[in-house]
Homo-oligomer: A and B are copies of this chain.
Amino acid sequence: MSIQSAILGILSWKSSTGYELKKIFEDSSFMYWSGNNNQIYKALMNMEEESLVTSEVVHQTNSPSKKIYSITEEGLLELKKWLMSSPEAPEIKKTFLVQLAWSDLLSNQQLSEMLSNYENEIKLQLMMQNEKNRRALHSPNRSARESLIWDMISANIISTYNNELIWIRETRQKLLENEVGEETDNERPN
């Protein structure tokens, strides 16, 4: 899936400039593109050539001119087509699991530190997500169904981090129990 579908989605909701789209991508937790100029401006140009969007230049006195992009009938059709295409499984990259895989090379203390660092990182992410949700943009003319949908998207992200937090706590607990077992072994005479 490309950034084009996401842009069509945003434009279906509200006509925007490239600059505005960029900020939306930066602020969104689930529209995962970094929102760099290169991707957005190029995508908009391509989509204009394909007649999925149209643009209108607006001259301003106190700021540089801007190009407001709007979705076309054709673009809306393309968006709906994509919405009904078969959903993909999430793509998840947890670098921490790769680190953990070889962490038997570390001492108990180093491992313990590593785990608590990850727990703190996840806690931080959770807080940031909660903050983002509170200040999230609310779409105009929202139906009850659309509100529900957006609430469930937020709930998904929060529950993902919560699940990770539960897991890391469990992992720390189990590794601690294991350590205690080892000490007992050492104290026991052979």
Q: Which residue numbers of A lie inside 8 Å of B, CB to CB?
A: 1, 5-6, 9, 12-13, 30-32, 76, 79-80, 82-84, 86-106, 110, 114, 117-118, 121-122, 124-125, 143-146, 148-150, 152-153, 155-157, 159-160, 163-164, 166-167, 170-171, 174-175, 178, 181-182
Q: Are B121 and A99 in contact (CB under 8 A)?
A: no
Q: Are B84 and A121 in contact (CB under 8 A)?
A: no
Which of B5, B79, B92, B175 makes the CB contact (< 8 A) with A160?
B92
Give chain B residues whose Cβ lies under 8 Å from the Cβ of A121: 86-89
Question: Which chain B residue lies CB-closest to A125?
Answer: B89
Question: Which chain B residue lies CB-closest to A76?
Answer: B105
Shortest CB–CB separation between residue A34 and chain B, in angstroms?
Answer: 11
Give chain B residues whose Cβ lies under 8 Å from the Cβ of A148: 174-175, 178
Shortest CB–CB separation between residue A18 and chain B, in angstroms?
Answer: 19
Shortest CB–CB separation between residue A164 and chain B, in angstroms?
Answer: 7
Q: Assuming the A-B contacts A155-B167, A178-B148, are A12 and B102 also in contact, with contact meaning beta carbons closer than 8 angstroms in the complex?
A: yes
Q: Are A93 and B32 in contact (CB under 8 A)?
A: yes
In whole angstroms, how far apart are the Cα atoms of A27 and B105 in the complex? 23
Question: Which chain B residue lies CB-closest to A181?
Answer: B144
Q: Are A98 and B5 in contact (CB under 8 A)?
A: yes
Q: Assuming the A-B contacts A89-B121, A93-B91, A160-B163, are A84 and B104 also in contact, with contact meaning beta carbons closer than 8 angstroms in the complex?
A: no
Q: Assuming the A-B contacts A106-B83, A117-B86, A178-B144, are A159 and B152 also in contact, with contact meaning beta carbons closer than 8 angstroms in the complex?
A: no
